[in-house]
Structure 1
Amino acid sequence: MTEHETRSEVAGPVGGATADDEDARLADFGYTQRLDRSIGPLASFAIGFATISATTAVFTGFGAGFTSAGGPFVWTLLIAGAVFAVWTMIAADLAAKIPLAGYSYQWTSRINGPDLGWFTGSIAVVGWICGMTCVGYIFAGYLAGLFGLAPTQTTQILIAIGIVALCALINIYGVRFATMVNNTGVALELVLTVLGTLVVAVVAFSAPDRHQPLSVLFTPGGSGEQASYALAWLAAALGPFFGLIGVESSADVAEETKRSRHVVPRAMMYALGASIVVELLMYSVYVLAIRDEAAVLANSSAPIETIIDQQLGPVATKIVVAIALTNILACLLANMLVATRLVYSMSRDNMLPFSATWRRVSPRTLTPTAAVVGLASLSTLMLLSALVNEEAFTYIIGIASLAFFAVYTLQTVGLLIGVRKGTIPAAEPGTFDLGRLRLPLYLLALAVFLTVAGALVVLPEFAGNGWVFLGVVVACALWWATGLRARLRTGEAGAGYSGRHTP
């Protein structure tokens, strides 16, 4: 293979497809259309919005943020929003140029080659599995409370296993059904959850003694002492940061999206904007609606439930929580959907152990069913590990966050190399393109992602994450050294593999 052919295969096609012919575009990349291309603009937005899930972010991040820094932790969301706006523009630029499933692997692999693509994609798989495991666990805790079950860890884990299995069945049934369920959850989130928040606000502000003053949003509080408040505030910022992870997830279903090069970039931007607005509204209202701060701090695992109960009473609380659970379920469903597409994309290029199994697509539902079952099984094993060791779930949460920021960092490093080598594909007419902003945004993004990733290793609240993450990297390196390198040398893996072999 000549150097020119290698560069073309890595960077992707130069042309040959009309503007709206996505299947032909996919063929130019060396793949045959096997998935169900049925996702439209609304569903694409819904996948991104559900993966972020403003409700999940607020219900899970409020307790840690308020406990650490008090009311002002709300404003850390604006910092997180600015950081993810940078990442969203970078991701939108790549989604318009390389519209392939499994973006974290494909973008890096096409621009930098399969070796860096392997590490980026495999760490992303770990992040998605840990992420959907965390969401399932969180869902189970609120569901147990809704039905008055004892909030023991064993109960929560067993319920979470059942919820993961349910989401796996929905995904196996087909992407059309999965996106329909997801769209319903997002609609409920945008209408009923926001409406519930506004009802809390109206009741809270109906009398002076039912709410805190606006100054509480600007007054340091929480467990951080005055001298160390800046550190406490920064630690609280990690919650809102985690609440925006996954804004680019609609790119993972690009091969199932109609007019994906045009639809996916817009869907990312709309999902980010809507999430920031909804999360800021919810965070602010619930801080101001606190009537008994001690009770909220005492129930830090479910603080929103406590605040709603203080304002609306137990019956209304159960209704709002029940609606919120549909949003959290949509979040889990979307996480599983995009994670399985990443596994399918990597196994299609024979990059994973047992790739022949993971790349199987059901001829009836056009869904990678083996990948769905495999990821659900791994998530179940993670949940079961927390039965043996209560600390295991703490590490699962930490690795979910650290893995994503490690992926963002690796991708940005690869993009900087791509700028220097000229391997970033040219923009197509009418699609989103960064143009002259490309290099400045890459440099800014790298500095920010390294800072957040460093905080996830250095800050005391996340002690131990670094060692667990190092173990993940070592495991990825072992497969690369003992199995994958040989495949890549012989052409039995990588971007050209699928085109040379019958599915």
Structure 2
Amino acid sequence: MSTTPALSAPPPGGAVDPSTDATDLRGFGYEPELRRGIGSYASFAAGFSFVSILTTVFQLFAFGFSFGGPAFFWTWPLVFAGQFMVALNFAELAARYPLSGCIYQWSRRLSNATVGWFAGWVMIIAQIATVAAAAIALQVVLPSIWSGFQLVGDDPALTSSSGATNAVILGSILIAVTTVVNVIGVRLMAIVNSTGVTLEIIGVLAVVVLLLFNTERGPGVVFDTGGTGSGLGYVGPFLVSALMAAYVVVGFDSAGELSEETRDPRHIAPRTILRALAASGIGGGLMLLAALMAAPSLTDGRLATEGLPYVLTSRLGETGGKILLIDVAIAIAVCTLAIQTAGSRMVFSMARDGVLPFSAALRKVSPRTGTPALPAIVVGAGAAGLLLVNIGQAALFTAITSVCIVMLYIAYALVTVPLLVRRSKGWPHEEGIARTERGGRLFALGRFGIVVNVLAVLYGIGMILNLGWPRPEVYDPAGGHWYLHYFSLLFVGGALLAGGLAYLRYRTRSPHSWRPLTTVVPAGAEGETA
């Protein structure tokens, strides 16, 4: 079983000794290798940019509206509330296990090496697919800003041959750039990411304010189902439209992924996880409401096909619309960067424990940059390779990007379920003993922990079923391929089977890597058995 090290009191005057973070990490059995160049805002930016509401709401508004009408708005606060229950549990874990590759680390320390390995495996697959999905979104934006970005053919639609090919080119260029940024070092990544997030927040505020000054109707529009159903007949369309919010509100755990590169992570990471999700939830909800109130028409069909870009260009004109599109393109770039960074830290964390093929190479950290370069290259290459599926198979790529969200929810469940089991046995035990780097109490849910954890587990299982349900209108809208109808089940089953085979083979080769971990508690500090 692992031990959660507790920190001794901080130096007089409230300052935090830089060596405190290093001592804390050694308490988990790891030597400090990554550079701690991330502060509070950069940590917040990592989570906010992964969610990237300006990117994802922009892309997926039409999807939600087409199935649920204006009342699909209510899926947003429901999904946000469910994910906030998950985030509260993650914040508690981030304070106690400030480690890179947090989903993997939390899962295995709460349960065992096998469950932890599968949590990491599922997360890596999901993150690689999500990098590709984020990068390909450039095709939706750049040709609309300037026709010169359409490098192949003249049809920018993702469903066309030229549009799909151009999307692969633009996406691959973006992934190459984000890979270089990641290889150069975490400090540059933090600067780029923080700058991009600042611009994205400004863009979100601008969209909300400008649309609210151009409203056509009042907020009561959110009670209109738009003819998609009524009473119990609206449950089905509502559940499908909820996938829009479920696709968006993920990735807030990125602040935990970068814990070993964050200063004072026990204090900062829990707070930035919650702040990133709260800011995304409030900003995204206001964008949805403002768009519904400002849309020129709810019945002409354009909201269901063109979505938010239709509202912006109609209300703000071509110039104003293009300025906001540039901001969306920036948001897409930093979103891709943040996801790739999180994915590379997951690969590094597992390789450091020797539980991945080629672990010796994947766990190397550049002494010059303090960054694991090869994991970033692996994640980038995997995402670029996945982009190639979009050439001539746009429906298949859409299905893959949908399923990657299912995988993220499964990885989250592999943390929240073991955590609930541990809570039933009295976890955590250290209240009043362990401290943050600044001498404060660790973030804790206290007596509400069990309730919050149960809600998180129920929400997660329910959303996994909703996301993975083989609906033809989601996975095979054209009705041309039977396997797309059941793609979610086939993909998740295949990923778990491949993971099982890889796990068995690698465990046989390196059984010593799977012995229960023991960690060293810093001298003079007390801890609790986790």
Return the TM-score normalized by structure 1: 0.90
Q: Which residue of 1 aligns with 2:504?
A: 481
Aligned equivalents of 1:423, 1:64: Cα separation in 2: 41
Whether contact under 8 Å (1:235, 1:459) holds in the other structure is: no
Identity of aligned residues (%): 27
Q: Which residue of 2 aligns with 1:285?
A: 290
Whether contact under 8 Å (2:164, 2:392) holds in the other structure is: no
String of CA shifts for 1:55-90, please: whole Å, max 9, x gaps. 122112201011111111112111011111111110
Query: In the TM superposition, what is the alpha-carbon distance from 1:213 to its structure 2 partner?
Result: 4.3
Describe the shift of the 1:17–1:128 C-alpha distance in structure 2 as closer, same or farther (beyond 3 A). farther
Aligned equivalents of 2:329, 2:62: Cα separation in 1: 17
Q: Which residue of 2 aligns with 1:376?
A: 380
Q: Which residue of 1 aligns with 2:242?
A: 237
Query: In the TM superposition, what is the alpha-carbon distance from 1:422 to its structure 2 partner?
Result: 5.8
1:112 aligns with 2:111: yes
Q: Which residue of 1 aligns with 2:21?
A: 22
Describe the shift of the 1:226–1:415 C-alpha distance in structure 2 as closer, same or farther (beyond 3 A). closer
String of CA shifts for 1:353-393, please: whole Å, max 9, x gaps. 11112112112111111001100000011001222533321
Whether contact under 8 Å (2:410, 2:464) holds in the other structure is: yes
Aligned equivalents of 1:222, 1:354: Cα separation in 2: 55
Query: In the TM superposition, what is the alpha-carbon distance from 1:311 to its structure 2 partner?
Result: 1.0
Other structure's SS at 1:432 match: coil
Decide which of 299, 302, 305 is 1:297's aligned counterpart: 302
Counterpart residue type for residue 77 of structure 1: W
Other structure's SS at 1:320 match: helix
Other structure's SS at 2:390 match: helix
String of CA shifts for 1:12-44, please: whole Å, max 9, x gaps. 344465555111010010111111101111111
Whether contact under 8 Å (2:196, 2:330) holds in the other structure is: yes
Aligned equivalents of 2:101, 2:513: Cα separation in 1: 20
Aligned equivalents of 2:117, 2:426: Cα separation in 1: 21
Describe the shift of the 1:145–1:251 C-alpha distance in structure 2 as closer, same or farther (beyond 3 A). same
Counterpart residue type for residue 354 of structure 1: F
Describe the shift of the 1:16–1:284 C-alpha distance in structure 2 as closer, same or farther (beyond 3 A). closer
Q: Which residue of 1 aligns with 2:255?
A: 250
Tell me whether 66-75 or 431-440 shows the greater mean CA deviation.
Answer: 431-440
Decide which of 176, 180, 200 is 2:191's aligned counterpart: 180
Other structure's SS at 1:490 match: helix
Query: In the TM superposition, what is the alpha-carbon distance from 1:256 to its structure 2 partner?
Result: 0.5
Aligned equivalents of 2:189, 2:300: Cα separation in 1: 38
Aligned equivalents of 2:28, 2:228: Cα separation in 1: 53
Q: Which residue of 2 aligns with 1:327?
A: 331
Whether contact under 8 Å (2:403, 2:468) holds in the other structure is: no
Matches within 5 A, 1:26-425: 26-148=25-147, 149=150, 150-151=155-156, 152-202=163-213, 204-205=214-215, 211-221=216-226, 223=228, 228-293=233-298, 297=302, 300=305, 302-387=306-391, 389-420=393-424
Other structure's SS at 2:236 match: helix
Query: In the TM superposition, what is the alpha-carbon distance from 1:345 to its structure 2 partner?
Result: 0.5
CA RMSD of aligned residues (A): 2.2
Query: In the TM superposition, what is the alpha-carbon distance from 1:253 to its structure 2 partner?
Result: 0.3
Query: In the TM superposition, what is the alpha-carbon distance from 1:295 to its structure 2 partner?
Result: 6.1
1:490 aligns with 2:512: yes
Counterpart residue type for residue 134 of structure 1: A
1:12 aligns with 2:15: no
Aligned equivalents of 1:49, 1:415: Cα separation in 2: 25
Matched length: 481
Counterpart residue type for residue 256 of structure 2: A
String of CA shifts for 1:229-265, please: whole Å, max 9, x gaps. 2211121112112211011210000000011000011
Query: In the TM superposition, what is the alpha-carbon distance from 1:478 to its structure 2 partner?
Result: 0.4
Judging by fraction of residues, say which structure has more helix: 1
Segments of structure 1 that go 5 or more residues without pairing to the other structure are 1-6, 206-210, 499-503
Counterpart residue type for residue 3 of structure 2: G
Q: Which residue of 1 aligns with 2:491?
A: 468
Q: Which residue of 2 aligns with 1:208?
A: none
Tell me whether 460-469 or 59-68 shows the greater mean CA deviation.
Answer: 460-469
Whether contact under 8 Å (1:189, 1:327) holds in the other structure is: yes
Q: Which residue of 2 aligns with 1:4?
A: none
Q: Which residue of 2 aligns with 1:501?
A: none
Other structure's SS at 1:90 match: helix
Tell me whether 280-289 or 420-429 shows the greater mean CA deviation.
Answer: 420-429
Describe the shift of the 1:70–1:371 C-alpha distance in structure 2 as closer, same or farther (beyond 3 A). same
Aligned equivalents of 1:157, 1:225: Cα separation in 2: 41
Other structure's SS at 2:462 match: helix
Segments of structure 2 that go 5 or more residues without pairing to the other structure are 11-15, 157-162, 436-440, 476-484, 521-530
Aligned equivalents of 1:257, 1:292: Cα separation in 2: 47
Describe the shift of the 1:295–1:307 C-alpha distance in structure 2 as closer, same or farther (beyond 3 A). farther
Return the TM-score normalized by structure 2: 0.86
Other structure's SS at 2:369 match: coil
Aligned equivalents of 1:257, 1:91: Cα separation in 2: 16
Query: In the TM superposition, what is the alpha-carbon distance from 1:304 to its structure 2 partner?
Result: 1.8
Counterpart residue type for residue 158 of structure 1: I
Whether contact under 8 Å (1:399, 1:465) holds in the other structure is: yes
Tell me whether 427-436 or 355-364 shows the greater mean CA deviation.
Answer: 427-436
Counterpart residue type for residue 267 of structure 1: T
Whether contact under 8 Å (2:66, 2:303) holds in the other structure is: no
Describe the shift of the 1:479–1:164 C-alpha distance in structure 2 as closer, same or farther (beyond 3 A). same
Other structure's SS at 2:394 match: coil
Query: In the TM superposition, what is the alpha-carbon distance from 1:496 to its structure 2 partner?
Result: 6.2
